Structure 1
Amino acid sequence: MKALVWHGEGDIRLDNVDDPSIIDPTDAIVRVTRTAICGTDLHFIRGTMAPMKEGTILGHEAVGEITAVGDAVRRFAPGDRVVVSSTMSCGVCWQCRAGHTAQCDNANPNGPQAGTCFFGGPGSTGPVDGLQAEYARIPWASNTLTALPDNISDEQAILLSDIFPTAWFGAQLAGVQRGDTVAVYGAGPVGQFAIVSAFRQGASRVFAVDGIDTRLVLALDQNAEVINFNREDPVQAIMEATLGIGVDAVIDAVGVDAQRPRSGPAAADSEQQADEFGQEVAQVAPKTNIQGENWVPGNAPSQVSQWSIETVRKYGRIGIIGVYSPDLMSYPIGQAMNKNLTIRMGNCDHRSVTPPLLDLVASGVFDPTRFITQHEPITDIVDAYLSFDRREEGWLKTVVAP
Structure 2
Amino acid sequence: MKAVVWHGEGDIRLDTVEDPTITEPTDAVVQITRSAICGTDLHFIRGTMAGMVEGTILGHEAVGVVTEVGSAVRRFGPGDRVLICSTMSCGACRNCRRGLTAQCDVANPNGPLAGTSFFGGPQATGPVNGLQAEYVRVPWAVNTLIPLPENISDDQAILLSDIFPTAWFGAELAGVHRGDTVAVLGAGVVGQFAIASAFRQGAARVIAVDGLQTRLVTALRQNAEIIDFNAEDPVQAILDTTQGIGVDAVIDAVGVEAQRPWAGPAKQAGDEQADQFDAERSQVAPKTNVQDQNWVPGDAPSQALQWAVSAVAKGGRIGIIGVYPPALTSFPIGAAMNKNLIIKMGNCNHHTVTPPLLDVVAAGLFDPTNLITQREPLTSAIEAYESFDRREEGWLKTELTVS
Match of 2:382 in 1: 382
Query: Which secondary structure state, in structure 2, belongs to the residue aligned with residue 179 of structure 1?
Result: coil
Q: What code does the residue aligned with 1:97 have?
A: R
Q: Provide the C-alpha distance between the structure 2 equivalents of 1:258 and 1:111, rounded to a whole number of angstroms.
A: 32
Query: Which secondary structure state, in structure 1, belongs to the residue aligned with residue 373 of structure 2?
Result: strand
Match of 1:163 in 2: 163
- Deviations, residues 29-66 of structure 1 (Å, cap 9, x unaligned): 00000000000000000000011000000000000000
Q: Provide the C-alpha distance between the structure 2 equivalents of 1:78 and 1:190, rounded to a whole number of angstroms.
A: 32
RMSD: 0.3
Q: Which structure 2 residues correspond to residues 43-122 of structure 1 after superposition, within 5 A?
A: 43-122=43-122
Q: Provide the C-alpha distance between the structure 2 equivalents of 1:375 and 1:282, rounded to a whole number of angstroms.
A: 34
Match of 2:335 in 1: 335
Q: Provide the C-alpha distance between the structure 2 equivalents of 1:334 and 1:148, rounded to a whole number of angstroms.
A: 46
Match of 1:185 in 2: 185
Match of 2:226 in 1: 226
Q: Specify every segment of 5 or more residues in structure 1 that has no aligned partner in the other structure, as ranges.
A: none
Q: What code does the residue aligned with 2:298 have?
A: G
Q: Provide the C-alpha distance between the structure 2 equivalents of 1:386 and 1:231, rounded to a whole number of angstroms.
A: 27
Match of 2:29 in 1: 29
Deviation at 1:187, TM superposition (A): 0.3
Give yes or no for the alignment of 1:172 onto 2:172. yes
Q: Provide the C-alpha distance between the structure 2 equivalents of 1:220 and 1:80, rounded to a whole number of angstroms.
A: 38
Q: Provide the C-alpha distance between the structure 1 equivalents of 2:329 and 2:63, rounded to a whole number of angstroms.
A: 36
Deviation at 1:296, TM superposition (A): 0.3
Match of 2:132 in 1: 132
- Deviations, residues 165-186 of structure 1 (Å, cap 9, x unaligned): 0000000000001000000000
Q: Provide the C-alpha distance between the structure 1 equivalents of 2:76 and 2:379, rounded to a whole number of angstroms.
A: 30
Q: What code does the residue aligned with 1:392 have?
A: E
Q: What code does the residue aligned with 1:331 have?
A: F
Q: What code does the residue aligned with 1:100 have?
A: L
Deviation at 1:378, TM superposition (A): 0.6
Q: What code does the residue aligned with 1:160 have?
A: L
Task: Give identity over the alignment, percent.
Answer: 73
- Deviations, residues 234-278 of structure 1 (Å, cap 9, x unaligned): 011000000000000000000001001000000000000000000
Match of 1:345 in 2: 345
Deviation at 1:136, TM superposition (A): 0.4
Give yes or no for the alignment of 1:302 onto 2:334. no
Query: Which secondary structure state, in structure 2, belongs to the residue aligned with residue 208 of structure 1?
Result: strand
Q: What code does the residue aligned with 1:324 have?
A: Y
Q: Provide the C-alpha distance between the structure 2 equivalents of 1:325 and 1:230, rounded to a whole number of angstroms.
A: 26
Q: What code does the residue aligned with 1:280 have?
A: E
- Deviations, residues 70-113 of structure 1 (Å, cap 9, x unaligned): 00000000000000000000000010000000000000000011
Query: Which secondary structure state, in structure 1, belongs to the residue aligned with residue 308 of structure 2?
Result: helix
Deviation at 1:306, TM superposition (A): 0.3
Runs in 1 of length 4+ with deviation above 6 angstroms? none
Q: What code does the residue aligned with 2:126 have?
A: G
Deviation at 1:295, TM superposition (A): 0.3
Deviation at 1:224, TM superposition (A): 0.2
Deviation at 1:116, TM superposition (A): 0.1
Give yes or no for the alignment of 1:207 onto 2:207. yes
Query: Which secondary structure state, in structure 2, belongs to the residue aligned with residue 256 of structure 1?
Result: helix
Q: What code does the residue aligned with 1:184 have?
A: V
Q: Provide the C-alpha distance between the structure 2 equivalents of 1:115 and 1:171, rounded to a whole number of angstroms.
A: 22
Deviation at 1:20, TM superposition (A): 0.2
Q: Which structure 2 residues correspond to residues 355-370 of structure 1 after superposition, within 5 A?
A: 355-370=355-370
Q: Provide the C-alpha distance between the structure 1 equivalents of 2:283 and 2:37, rounded to a whole number of angstroms.
A: 25
Q: What code does the residue aligned with 1:275 have?
A: D
Deviation at 1:350, TM superposition (A): 0.2
Q: Provide the C-alpha distance between the structure 2 equivalents of 1:252 and 1:164, rounded to a whole number of angstroms.
A: 15
Q: Provide the C-alpha distance between the structure 2 equivalents of 1:164 and 1:358, rounded to a whole number of angstroms.
A: 10
Q: Provide the C-alpha distance between the structure 2 equivalents of 1:218 and 1:99, rounded to a whole number of angstroms.
A: 33
Q: Provide the C-alpha distance between the structure 2 equivalents of 1:213 and 1:131, rounded to a whole number of angstroms.
A: 31
Match of 2:276 in 1: 276
Q: What code does the residue aligned with 2:335 have?
A: Q
Aligned length: 402
Deviation at 1:211, TM superposition (A): 0.5
- Deviations, residues 311-331 of structure 1 (Å, cap 9, x unaligned): 000000000000001000110
Q: Provide the C-alpha distance between the structure 2 equivalents of 1:165 and 1:21, rounded to a whole number of angstroms.
A: 29
Normalised by the size of structure 1, how large is the TM-score?
1.00
Q: Provide the C-alpha distance between the structure 2 equivalents of 1:128 and 1:146, rounded to a whole number of angstroms.
A: 19
